[in-house]
Amino acid sequence: MADYVIIGAGSGGAVLINRLSADPNIQITVIEAGGWDRSPWIHMPMGYFRLMQTLALDWGYHTVPQKHVNNRVMFVPRAKSIGGCTTVNGMIYTRGHRTDYDQWAQMGNMGWSYDSILPYFKRAENWGGGGDQNVHGFDGPLKTTRNPILAEPCVAWRDACIQAGYPFNDDLNSGEQYGVGPCDGTVRDGVRSSVSRCYITPIKHRKNLTFHTRAMVSKILLKSGRAIGVEFVQGGKKKTVFADKEVILCGGTFNSPQVLQISGIGDPEHLSRIGVRVQHELPGVGRNLQDHVASSLKVRLTKPVSLLKATKPYAAALALVQYYTTGSGPVAGHGVEVMSFLKTRPDLEAPDVQWHFNNIMYRDHGRDIIPEEGFMPYFNISRPQSRGTVMAKSDDPFVLPELDPNYLSVPDDLRVLRDGLRMSREIVTQKAFDHIRGEEYAPGKEAQSDADLDEYIKKDCQSVYHPVGTCKMGTDPMAVVDDKLRVHGIQGLRVVDASIMPTLTSGNTNAPTIMIGEKAADMIREAA
């Protein structure tokens, strides 16, 4: 018997493991589908390219054919490991815009406005960049730093944005994103700041913690409208652990709705279709899926100043030697020095497009490096309007659920990407790029009409790995959890991960998910 059973040790779960186990009188059992984060590629920042290429920690998710994206079946990477996606992500630390959270509060979620959640961002953060103490935290577990803008193409992008009329923003995490500025990252001293390393490793030997790794949850056990435990499969054997206080589901945007569905919690019509007995009707489970979808402008360079040379075997070997002897060099950072958050229309209150500036050209999530000197402004819709679903296909936990992000189903999402592509072109034509700008590699200068650009975007676009929303927080009939993250209609069961976001934040979702974990820890302790 445990007090709390935590399902999943990713960005939300890791925070709860750390904060709740600080009370030695509380017993916690953790059930995690992956193993411990022992691969050296995890802790080396640039190792994520290797992990993406080998898919050593990947769940293997692909979408159903996306009917608004030329019926493409699209790869959606998700990590299976202690530390979750923080073991393989690009280590970009962005909190989003203040209006993201104010909108959550306006939707009826008390305590989730920007001013309410800012203390939790600060509690989590161990900021290494100096600056405003009203914005940043300096004592938290999560080690963050700010990349200097040094590489020639990155400097050119910053200067070109300013020449195009956009402001310089020294701190894109101040709550006001608009402009171009340096990129903050979850990395320190040449080591990835995964939530496993920052939240779990320092405390994993606490005597009140029990970990079950490589364990798949098959069912949340319910009795008289209350979650009382968890059934899981480990090493081919079915096991059960009971929870005296709460079961806390932290499986992520894809796994959390699946676990609820195979436990009999969801849309009755869907549950009956997959042979699961209905335990609790909650039609919103698995709906409201949102994700950042991105496209890119690829431009050749006239000088060898990209990261391409670092991918060559000899240079890569030297970089590894440098890293393991000094902790520095090309593989000691995450590679993104500069970002932009800009508006496609001047009347917008907040930016609607985000740019990661990549000093290399690639395809297919970095699994296919283009062997030419070039750079790639990679831009995504900040607030997509398209909504999709995550639906279990079977009561078998080992059968992955059906993913349908329904990308670009709302025509204005395609318009925003098209405008982002045109804005990218305008920025690259500025004087700052004159000394290094070569020919456009893709889509190519012949692509000028809306139809041509739309077709290119549909062929080129990919997930930027920020799925949210499938167990959304709210008060409407499709909400799954309330503003305390308790599952509507069931006692002793919460969801604490990115799936609770009612709308997608304007930026990478790791930092907001960690914030959700910090806030949830307080709510859980208060309830106890």
The last residue of a domain, from among 448, 463, 478: 463
Say yes or no: 478 and 431 in one domain.
no
Q: Give the position of tokens 């080396």.
A: 44
pLDDT at 220 over 70: yes
**Whether the model pTM is above 0.85:** yes
What is the spatial distance between Cα 331 and Cα 233, in angstroms, rounded to a whole number? 38
What is the spatial distance between Cα 296 and Cα 452, in angstroms, rounded to a whole number? 14
pLDDT at 155 over 80: yes
Say yes or no: 459 and 473 in one domain.
no
pLDDT value for 131: 66
Q: Which helix (H) or strand (E) holds 13?
A: helix 11-20
Instruction: Give the E-state strand segments of 224-373 in sequence order.
Output: 226-234, 237-249, 265-266, 280-281, 293-296, 298-301, 338-342, 353-358, 362-363, 368-369
**What spatial distance separates the first Cα and last Cα of the chain, rounded to whole Å?**
17
The last residue of a domain, from among 444, 463, 482: 463
- When pLDDT is averaged across residues 258-272 and rounded to a whole number, the result is 98
Contact status, residue 15 vs residue 518, Cβ threshold 8 Å: yes
Say yes or no: 209 and 151 in one domain.
no
Q: For residue range 380-423, what is the model confidence (pLDDT) as tens digits?
A: 999 999 999 999 999 999 999 999 999 999 999 999 999 999 99
Q: List the CATH number of the domain containing 372.
A: 3.30.560.10
Question: Quick one: pLDDT band at residue 120, thresholds 50, 70, 90?
Answer: very high
Dihedral angle over CA of 104, 108, 110, 114, nearest 10 = 20
User: Does residue 79 belong to any structural domain of this protein?
Assistant: no
Q: What is the DSSP letter of 57?
A: T
Do the strands 293-296 and 462-463 form a parallel or antiparallel pair, or are they unpaired? antiparallel
Q: Which of 114, 72, 66, 129 is nearest to 364 (CA)?
A: 72
Q: For residue range 83-108, what is the model confidence (pLDDT) as tens digits?
A: 999 999 999 999 999 999 999 999 99
Question: Quick one: pLDDT band at residue 323, thresholds 50, 70, 90?
Answer: confident
pLDDT value for 505: 98
Q: Which of 519, 525, 526, 528 is nearest to 113 (CA)?
A: 519
Say yes or no: 317 and 218 in one domain.
no
pLDDT value for 68: 98
Q: Which of 225, 185, 167, 163 is nearest to 94 (CA)?
A: 185
**446 burial via Cβ count (<10 Å: 0-12, 13-18, 19+):** exposed
Tell me the two tokens of residue 450.
Answer: 């809306």
pLDDT at 316 over 90: no
Contact status, residue 196 vs residue 14, Cβ threshold 8 Å: yes
Q: Is 230 helix (H, G, I), strand (E, B) or coil?
A: strand
Say yes or no: 486 and 404 in one domain.
no
Question: Is 292 an active-site residue?
Answer: no
Q: For residue range 188-206, what is the model confidence (pLDDT) as tens digits?
A: 999 999 999 999 999 999 9
Percent of the chain with pLDDT over 90: 89
User: Does residue 321 belong to any structural domain of this protein?
Assistant: yes
Say yes or no: 54 and 69 in one domain.
yes
The mean pLDDT of the chain is: 96
The last residue of a domain, from among 463, 489, 510: 463
pLDDT value for 49: 76
Choosing from 43, 212, 270, 466, which is the catalytic residue?
A: 466
Say yes or no: 318 and 171 in one domain.
yes
pLDDT value for 134: 87
Q: Is 96 helix (H, G, I), strand (E, B) or coil?
A: coil
Count of CB atoms situated within 10 Å of the CB of 138: 13
Q: Which sign does the torsion angle of CA 261, 266, 268, 270 carry?
A: negative
Say yes or no: 386 and 475 in one domain.
no
- Please count the structural domains in the chain: 2
Say yes or no: 296 and 425 in one domain.
yes
User: Does residue 7 belong to any structural domain of this protein?
Assistant: yes
- When pLDDT is averaged across residues 269-292 and rounded to a whole number, the result is 98
User: Does residue 113 belong to any structural domain of this protein?
Assistant: no
Longest CA–CA span in the chain (Å) reads 71
Q: List the CATH number of the domain containing 271.
A: 3.50.50.60
pLDDT value for 54: 81
Q: Which of 313, 469, 322, 312 is nearest to 386 (CA)?
A: 469
Say yes or no: 333 and 401 in one domain.
yes
Q: Which of 334, 296, 299, 366 is nearest to 156 (CA)?
A: 299
User: Does residue 221 belong to any structural domain of this protein?
Assistant: yes
User: Does residue 117 belong to any structural domain of this protein?
Assistant: no
pLDDT at 149 over 70: yes
User: Does residue 100 belong to any structural domain of this protein?
Assistant: no
pLDDT at 286 over 80: yes
Say yes or no: 61 and 205 in one domain.
no
User: Does residue 223 belong to any structural domain of this protein?
Assistant: yes
Say yes or no: 154 and 22 in one domain.
no
Domain of 494 in residue numbering reads as: 2-36+196-288+469-527
